[in-house]
Amino acid sequence: MAAALLTDEPLVLRRVPHLRDIATLAEILGQLGVEVARDGDTLTLRVVTEEPDTAPYDLVATMRASICVLGPLLAKRGRARVSMPGGCVFGVRPIDLHEKGLNLLGAGLKINGGYLEGRPGRLRGAEVYLGSSFGSSVTGTANVLMGASLAEGRTVIENAALEPEVADLARCLNAMGARISGIDSHRLVIDGVERLHGTEHTVIPDRIEVGTYLVAGAITAGDVTVCEAERSHLLAVIERLEMAGAKVSASGRDIRVIGPARPEAVDVTTLPFPGFPTDLQAQFMALASVARGISVITERIYPDRFMHLPELARLGARVRKEGPQAIVQGTETLSGAPIMASDLRASAALVLAGLVAQGETLVRRVYHIDRGYERIDEKLRALGADIERGQE
């Protein structure tokens, strides 16, 4: 969606879910002169004015990924004023790689009153290394990639993120006229062009949503088939599910999971793609809570991403945190209780735990879950869950 800022022509995106984050970014783009129209699962985005350059705090503060408008604004309009981002709160999540990469392209970014400001004129190609102690940055790679697409000369991004979402963006940009090579590798080479044009692009399946429903099938001893999925994006997740005793099979674009009577304990370490995704760590902790044996869950991306841990404990999970690890002693039964969601993926994990807890589980603050899951209550109900949505 942010790439629509790079062209004067319409960008048509297909398979776009109805999510709160989509609506938020549409509102931010509207503030930046982009007309956004929806028809079913298709979005058409078209710049109607390039005059605005400010992405305001009240919108950006609700969604971290909205920082991705920074690169396109600098590249196309030569100026940007973007609020420092917000989103889910689970420890330090710096945007230093965004700043570093764009500054190497000549952005001249400075923080002023809580806003990142830059007025570089046209960006210039450069060699950019996007490494950190926690690995490469997905949104950082995306921001620099979009900025470099219209920069003067060649940009080489070393240690670019390998996540499928980065490759999907690169292919969309190429369809718009960008010259990007090295897609699906840690080294992206971008030869800047004078202008980009519009295109039509079909978005890849959401591997985190797919993984969440696969875990739902495994934790409930269920039989769940997720349609229109991409197995190659979930190999690490599928391996851990199979180690937990689930049977996982694929047929075309469908993935089927048959859960065991009771899962086996399994260790998980989150890593950048193609490793186990941090966005499925909380869901796997719910699975480990009812597994047979002790599981060790190690968080290498966001070491403080364990805010769901005390809420799982309220359901009877035996889990403790030791530094960047959670030690989970599986218990045969959980007991329903009122619990509170702290972030998007924690919300999903608590709902999964509630599916297998005895009695009623009341999950509060589920507005988080609507940011990244379309109608999750309806989909789970269609699978046989006894789940209802109420007003807070």
Phi and psi at 111, nearest 5°, equal -95, 125
Catalytic residue among 68, 88, 172, 227: 88
Instruction: Give me 16's structure tokens.
Output: 């776009």
Residue 92 pLDDT > 50: no
Q: What is the Rg, in whole angstroms, of the alpha carbon atoms belonging to the chain?
A: 21
- C-alpha span between 267 and 12 (Å, rounded): 41
DSSP codes of every residue in 250-288 = EETTEEEEE--SSPBP--EEE-STTSB-GGGHHHHHHHH
Residue 138: inside a domain? yes
The set of residues, in sequence order, having a beta carbon less than 8 Å from that of 84 and lying 6+ positions away, is 57, 60, 61, 95, 111, 114, 115, 116
- C-alpha span between 376 and 317 (Å, rounded): 23
| Start-to-end Cα distance in the chain | 31
Q: Which of 55-64, 85-94, 189-198, 281-290 has the lowest mean pLDDT?
A: 85-94
| Helix boundaries (H) for the chain | 20-31, 57-60, 70-77, 96-104, 138-149, 164-175, 207-219, 235-243, 281-289, 309-314, 344-356, 376-382
Give the position of tokens 């004015």. Answer: 49
Which of 202, 222, 250 delimits the end of a domain? 202
Residue 387: inside a domain? no
Residue 81: inside a domain? yes
CATH number for the domain that contains residue 193: 3.65.10.10
Categorize the per-residue pLDDT at 119 as very low, low, confident or very high, splitting at 50, 70 and 90.
confident
User: Do 59 and 186 lie in a common domain?
Assistant: yes
User: Do 193 and 289 lie in a common domain?
Assistant: no
Instruction: Give me 115's structure tokens.
Output: 């806003």
User: Do 131 and 7 lie in a common domain?
Assistant: yes
- C-alpha span between 290 and 262 (Å, rounded): 7
Q: Per the structure, how many domains does the chain have?
A: 2
User: Do 212 and 311 lie in a common domain?
Assistant: yes
Q: Which of 58-62, 115-119, 180-184, 197-201 has the lowest mean pLDDT?
A: 58-62
User: Do 180 and 264 lie in a common domain?
Assistant: no
Q: What is the pLDDT of residue 248?
A: 98
User: Do 181 and 306 lie in a common domain?
Assistant: no
Residue 390: inside a domain? no
Residue 122 pLDDT > 60: yes
3-state secondary structure at position 338: strand
Do residues 8 and 52 touch, judged by C-beta distance below 8 A?
no
Mean pLDDT calculated for residue range 18-38: 96
Residue 389: inside a domain? no
DSSP state of 362: E
DSSP codes of every residue in 177-240 = T-EEE-TTSSEEEEE--S-B--EEEEPPP-HHHHHHHHHHHHHTT-EEEE-S--GGGGHHHHHH
Mean pLDDT calculated for residue range 107-120: 91
Categorize the per-residue pLDDT at 110 as very low, low, confident or very high, splitting at 50, 70 and 90.
very high
Report residue 168 CA to chain centroid gap.
Answer: 13
User: Do 121 and 177 lie in a common domain?
Assistant: yes
Residue 44's DSSP bridge partners are: 12, 37
- C-alpha span between 236 and 220 (Å, rounded): 21
Q: What is the pLDDT of residue 86?
A: 59
> Does 227 qualify as catalytic in the annotation?
no
Q: How many CB atoms lie within 10 A of CB 320?
A: 12
The set of residues, in sequence order, having a beta carbon less than 8 Å from that of 360 and lying 6+ positions away, is 336
Residue 160 pLDDT > 90: yes
Residue 90 pLDDT > 70: no
Tens-place pLDDT, residues 328-339: 999 999 999 999
Residue 59: inside a domain? yes
User: Do 283 and 178 lie in a common domain?
Assistant: no
Q: What is the pLDDT of residue 84?
A: 86
Amino acid at 29: L
Which of 182, 202, 222 delimits the end of a domain? 202
User: Do 146 and 107 lie in a common domain?
Assistant: yes
Tens-place pLDDT, residues 183-220: 999 999 999 999 999 999 999 999 999 999 999 999 99
Residue 314: inside a domain? yes
The set of residues, in sequence order, having a beta carbon less than 8 Å from that of 252 and lying 6+ positions away, is none
Do residues 203 and 14 touch, judged by C-beta distance below 8 A?
yes
DSSP state of 85: P
User: Do 47 and 153 lie in a common domain?
Assistant: yes
Its pTM stands at 0.94
Residue 391: inside a domain? no
Give the position of tokens 């993120």. Answer: 161
User: Do 29 and 94 lie in a common domain?
Assistant: yes
Angle between the N-to-C axes of helices 96-104 and 70-77, in degrees from 0 to 180, rounded to the nearest 10: 20
Tens-place pLDDT, residues 253-262: 999 999 999 9
Residue 382 pLDDT > 50: yes
Looking from the CA of 232 toward its CB, the CA atoms found within 13 Å total 7
Which of 173, 202, 231 delimits the end of a domain? 202
User: Do 31 and 92 lie in a common domain?
Assistant: yes
Domain residues for the domain of 363 are: 207-382
- C-alpha span between 321 and 328 (Å, rounded): 9
